[in-house]
Structure 1
Amino acid sequence: MGKKAEKLKDKTLKENENDSQSAGVGPQDKTSLSADDYQCTGNLEQDFTELCRRLGYTEFPRVVNRPRMPSTPTSEKTAFDDTDWTSDKDSPIAHIKDRFSYFKPSIQIEVDNEDGRSVREISIRGWKIDDKMMGIFSKCLPVLTSLHKIRLWNVGLTDDTFSSFLTILHCCPSIRVFALEGNPLLQQSYYKLISDDIVLSQIFLRNNKINDEGARLISQALRSLKMTNKNLASLVLSYNHITDEGARHIAQALRFNRSLLSLNLSSNQIGDEGALALAEVLGHFPLTHAEIVERRRLLLEKEAQEQPRSPTTSRHADSKSDRPPSHHSNSAIEKGDKAQAQKTKQSIKKKEKETQKKEEKSASNITSGTSNAAAQASGSNKKDDLKTAKKQLANPDQKNTRGEPVKSATRRAPLPEQEQAEPVEVTNPLLEQAEFRDGKVFLPGNKVVISLNISRNKISKLGLKGFLTAMETQIEETKPIPGTRCHTGLLRLAVGNNNFPADCPTLMRLQEILLPRDPIQKSYKSSEEEQSM
């Protein structure tokens, strides 16, 4: 009986160990190992799995390479016709599991190399990220130096977890593309992504129920960006709840924002008022009273910086006290040089007489002969130095006979490359050339935005006319860059599926203007021509 009891105890211990290993928590993990002590290696699969086990997760998503959606068979044969069911892997149930494995909770990644360390893109969809999981990401993601894009779809983020995710983005400077889709936030905190501290070039915020208040906060964030910040180039706000009021807020930001190149407002609730506000920004728009006051202040500062010096200040600048010592009167310099030259000549003559006497007295002494030769050589060198000194005073920029450049007080040594590089001057849009008419000040519109998508909204012919007027003014003012076919201003405008017919004359005129400028249409036509050849 004792042996049987011992066998049962051993069996139960082994089963418990197996259960704990399958759950990811061993007896040592519970007592000694913790997530804080773990040092990430840069391999996302290894780090994520180990951290989940140390935090006590029994089931957690797997890190897998991003798969492609399974394609339906094109032939009449089904997927089970050529299947050999001799093994479990080839059974119909295994094939069904492989097909539905795409929808299992996982972290889909794209890597550049096979070692798993150069993760370029991360995609998470369909499972909730809580505070505990966010702590794991705060340790795994900053180690990935090649991470370029993060895409989150329907992950159940709250305003608190979203704020903690923003701290992770601050620690990942390599991320340029971020997508948060299907994740409504109660406080509309999406504007926090638009900041000078987070270097993002593309932001996707589709299907997040962003309303007019969220659009107002995004507009303030766009306006608060520094003039030198040219990072954010694309903003996608499609499939949201933005109306005319929200469109006016975004148009207000586009008045002076010169970094955004592409804006997508498709599938919202924008009508004619919002469309006219967006179209006005593309053409000439009048300044408000506050903007006129700010423009005058900037103009006064610019005039003060560029104002030439007065005659009194120029005289003081050219006075003797402001000059370096080598810039005193030329006559004084010449007199001093002549006196010094005469003194040196007299000293040289005296030395020559003394050396001649010494030569006559000690002709047989070899050492005296050698010293005499040295004295003669030094005397000849001093004569040459006097001649070169006079030439240098006459021509200060001329090089001496020995080939060494002459140091001049009027010239400075070249600065290093870092000091020579001048900072790029960024002009404020308020300082652009203005036009005065009807008692108002008009500025040229935003010609930085090259792509605008307002399709699937509630825009009628009235709003469409506003875009036609803006495009006609852009064509009159903008010309192709010399030597190229590039234009400035709007190049692509998507206005389909709105409240106007497809044969609307205004739409036909817009297409005539934009189709030759659209780079996508040009590339499509060129590819068709290549295929036809």
Structure 2
Amino acid sequence: MGKKAERKEKTGKDNEDDAKTAGFGSQDKPPLTAEDYHCTGNLEQDFTELCTRLGYTEIPKVMPRPRPPSTPASEKNVFADEADFTSDKDSQNGAGPTKDRYSYFRPSIRVELESEDGRSVREISIRGWKIDEKMMGIFAKCLPALPNLQKITLWNVGLTDGTFSSFMNVLQHCPSVKVISLEGNPLPDQSYHKLISDDLGLVHISLRNNQINDEGARLISQALQSLKITNKHLATLVLSYNHITDLGAGYIAQALRFNRSLLSLNLSSNQIGDQGALALSEVLGHFALKHIEIVQRRLLLLDKEAQEQPRSQATSRHTDVKSERPLSHHSNSATEKAEKLQAQKSKSSLSKKKEKETPKKEDKTTITNVASGASTVTIQTGPTKKEDPKTAKKQTSNSDHKITRVKTVKSATKRVPLPEQEQAEAPEVSNPLLEQAEFRDGKVFLPGNKVLINLNLSRNRVTEEGLRSFLAAMETQVRETKVTSGARTHTGLLRLSLGKNKFPAECSTFVQIQEIMVSRDPIYKSPRSSVDEQVM
């Protein structure tokens, strides 16, 4: 009995020693924290490690999206990758498909990879489970480590004003993200306008089904107007399935007056009526400037004239310098004549001692002129000695060398205005207020927004009265269509969606608009052309 007790004591001590060596029972080492972890760029590895360190028991899986087979004869099934969403062990143990049937509805992170490498995450999609502050902190550490991340989709994740501000901080550290889709996440403060910023540089923003009202539309309008003129990033804005009325449509139309970056605007499934349609259609055609806009236009014109005056003066100075340069080339003849006149006077008036002192003064003047880079050419002053023609030739050759030295310095010093000329040739982005205006009935009219090419107003409350305003706007755009070398280059809207509003489908105004838009749509193909292609 004593031997058995001794063996039990020894085994207990051995287990304690093994636990200490493995690090499980040691109190000296501090516990691992998420702040100490350095992300490797592999989202699955980093996300799992951070969740375990923060104490998560159920960790959402990071799963790649299924891809179609490379060839039709491939043995792999299209849905073979979906089997990866469930554990292979359960299938081997005979768990059956009923246990894994609902794996699709479990919290997960769908990713799209550019290659088989786990570090090449291109797109992240999270759907149907709530993201709290703790989980947003994990994303704030994982997502900036993904250099190829371009798109983030958060659908119905229960965002609040606090988690949305945290998400904005995450985007500040992800410059490669260009597409954001936040749908089904209503915010009380209507703060989605913060996504429209010069700092983020997003290209596509989708805010569908977020209960955005007229106040949210006003904030979005202000954000669009505050974008810099040089900012050409934001191209698509989706505001469908919200609560925007005529007032909110008027706010957005105000932003479209001078916004020249937005290419596509989706306002479908809202509460926009004829007044909102009239405000949007007015932007597409010629619109009259308000008093504040006229004052701002005049100030811009004055600034433009003030900027052009220094450039014109710089160019005039540059031409003056060019006109001065040929004089230096012809200065040899002038110096020779002056030297002859002064030599004739010196023969009768000055003595031999003065003739020896004058060359020293001439040497000093030439050195000072070369050092200072003066534009005048030094001329020999004082009498010259009677010497043989050989010595005279030597002196003239020396004087020529001095003059050439002065000329080289002049050409180097007068090339300063060249950078100004290069700056003048650089392309400049003009303000829409500086576009060519028309004056009619005491008002100033500017051409409408010709950058917007897609507008969707389907499933709203527009009647036939609102359709007439769009028809007038499209007719003005058709008249302004440029025809160059037999090929049409369309400007303005290329696609206008007005279906399922408060007017019958057989409305003549709607039929006319459809005929115009079919001729302008570059993607639409008539049935005849498709039949001809099949015959060919």
Indicate whether the TM-score tops 0.5.
Answer: yes
Is 2:245–2:271's contact at 8 Å kept on the other side of the alignment? Answer: yes
2:433 maps to 430
Is 1:52–1:136's contact at 8 Å kept on the other side of the alignment? Answer: yes
The answer to whether structure 1 residue 349 and structure 2 residue 348 are counterparts is no
How many residue pairs end up in the alignment? 469
Match of 1:170 among 162, 169, 172: 172
Kindly provide the amino acid, as one letter, of the partner of residue 514 in structure 2. Q
When residues 528 and 264 of structure 1 are mapped into structure 2, their CA distance, relative to the original with a 3 A threshold, is farther
The 1-side partners of 2:317 and 2:41 are apart by 62
Q: Deviations over 1:67-92 (max 9, x none)?
A: 479xxxxxxxxx9xxxxxxx963899
Is 1:324–1:409's contact at 8 Å kept on the other side of the alignment? Answer: no
2:346 maps to none
When residues 125 and 29 of structure 1 are mapped into structure 2, their CA distance, relative to the original with a 3 A threshold, is farther
Q: Percent identity?
A: 62
When residues 484 and 229 of structure 1 are mapped into structure 2, their CA distance, relative to the original with a 3 A threshold, is farther
The 2-side partners of 1:449 and 1:241 are apart by 23
Is 2:482–2:488's contact at 8 Å kept on the other side of the alignment? Answer: no
How far the C-alpha of 1:42 sits from its partner, in A, is 0.6
Match of 2:455 among 452, 456, 462: 452
Is 2:459–2:500's contact at 8 Å kept on the other side of the alignment? Answer: yes
TM-score under structure 1 length normalisation:
0.75
Residue pairs, 1:58-457, within 5 angstroms: 58-67=57-66, 89=91, 94-306=96-308, 332-336=331-335, 349=390, 408=411, 412=415, 422-457=425-460
The answer to whether structure 1 residue 467 and structure 2 residue 470 are counterparts is yes
The 2-side partners of 1:280 and 1:413 are apart by 50
Greater Cα offset, 522-531 or 29-38: 522-531
Q: Deviations over 1:280-317 (max 9, x none)?
A: 1101111111111111222222233345999xx89x96
How far the C-alpha of 1:459 sits from its partner, in A, is 0.7
1:39 maps to 38
Is 1:460–1:499's contact at 8 Å kept on the other side of the alignment? Answer: yes
The answer to whether structure 1 residue 54 and structure 2 residue 53 are counterparts is yes
Counterpart of 1:185 in 2: which secondary structure? coil
The 2-side partners of 1:319 and 1:464 are apart by 59
How far the C-alpha of 1:486 sits from its partner, in A, is 3.3
The 2-side partners of 1:44 and 1:344 are apart by 93
2:362 maps to none
Kindly provide the amino acid, as one letter, of the partner of residue 464 in structure 1. L
1:521 maps to 524
The 1-side partners of 2:110 and 2:231 are apart by 32
The 1-side partners of 2:385 and 2:140 are apart by 79
Q: Deviations over 1:385-438 (max 9, x none)?
A: 999999999xx9xxxxxxxx998469749979x967954311111111222222
Is 2:242–2:270's contact at 8 Å kept on the other side of the alignment? Answer: yes
Counterpart of 1:297 in 2: which secondary structure? helix
How far the C-alpha of 1:481 sits from its partner, in A, is 5.8
Q: Deviations over 1:311-349 (max 9, x none)?
A: xx89x96999x8999676777543336759999997993
TM-score under structure 2 length normalisation:
0.75
How far the C-alpha of 1:32 sits from its partner, in A, is 2.9
When residues 88 and 235 of structure 1 are mapped into structure 2, their CA distance, relative to the original with a 3 A threshold, is closer
Q: Deviations over 1:461-516 (max 9, x none)?
A: 01111110000011111325657543110000011111111111111111111112
Gaps of at least 5 residues in structure 1 are 18-24, 70-78, 80-86, 353-378, 397-404
Q: Deviations over 1:439-478 (max 9, x none)?
A: 2222111111000000011111011111100000111113
The 2-side partners of 1:137 and 1:309 are apart by 51
The 2-side partners of 1:30 and 1:153 are apart by 41
RMSD, matched Cα = 4.5
When residues 440 and 324 of structure 1 are mapped into structure 2, their CA distance, relative to the original with a 3 A threshold, is closer
Counterpart of 1:156 in 2: which secondary structure? coil
When residues 392 and 271 of structure 1 are mapped into structure 2, their CA distance, relative to the original with a 3 A threshold, is same
Residue pairs, 1:485-500, within 5 angstroms: 485-500=488-503
Q: Deviations over 1:71-119 (max 9, x none)?
A: xxxxxxxx9xxxxxxx963899632444432222101000011111111
The 1-side partners of 2:318 and 2:149 are apart by 59
Kindly provide the amino acid, as one letter, of the partner of residue 222 in structure 1. L
Is 1:243–1:269's contact at 8 Å kept on the other side of the alignment? Answer: yes
Is 2:182–2:207's contact at 8 Å kept on the other side of the alignment? Answer: yes
Greater Cα offset, 267-276 or 475-484: 475-484
Q: Deviations over 1:4-25 (max 9, x none)?
A: 9879989x99xx99xxxxxxx9
How far the C-alpha of 1:33 sits from its partner, in A, is 1.3
Is 1:272–1:458's contact at 8 Å kept on the other side of the alignment? Answer: yes
When residues 161 and 420 of structure 1 are mapped into structure 2, their CA distance, relative to the original with a 3 A threshold, is same
The 2-side partners of 1:63 and 1:480 are apart by 54
Greater Cα offset, 31-40 or 151-160: 31-40
The 2-side partners of 1:389 and 1:529 are apart by 83
When residues 324 and 421 of structure 1 are mapped into structure 2, their CA distance, relative to the original with a 3 A threshold, is closer
Q: Deviations over 1:99-144 (max 9, x none)?
A: 4322221010000111111110000011111111111111111111
Is 1:219–1:249's contact at 8 Å kept on the other side of the alignment? Answer: yes
Is 2:243–2:270's contact at 8 Å kept on the other side of the alignment? Answer: yes
The 1-side partners of 2:385 and 2:25 are apart by 96
When residues 468 and 318 of structure 1 are mapped into structure 2, their CA distance, relative to the original with a 3 A threshold, is closer
Q: Deviations over 1:340-362 (max 9, x none)?
A: 9999997993599xxxxxxxxxx
The 2-side partners of 1:99 and 1:421 are apart by 67
When residues 388 and 437 of structure 1 are mapped into structure 2, their CA distance, relative to the original with a 3 A threshold, is same
The 2-side partners of 1:113 and 1:347 are apart by 90
Counterpart of 2:272 in 1: which secondary structure? coil
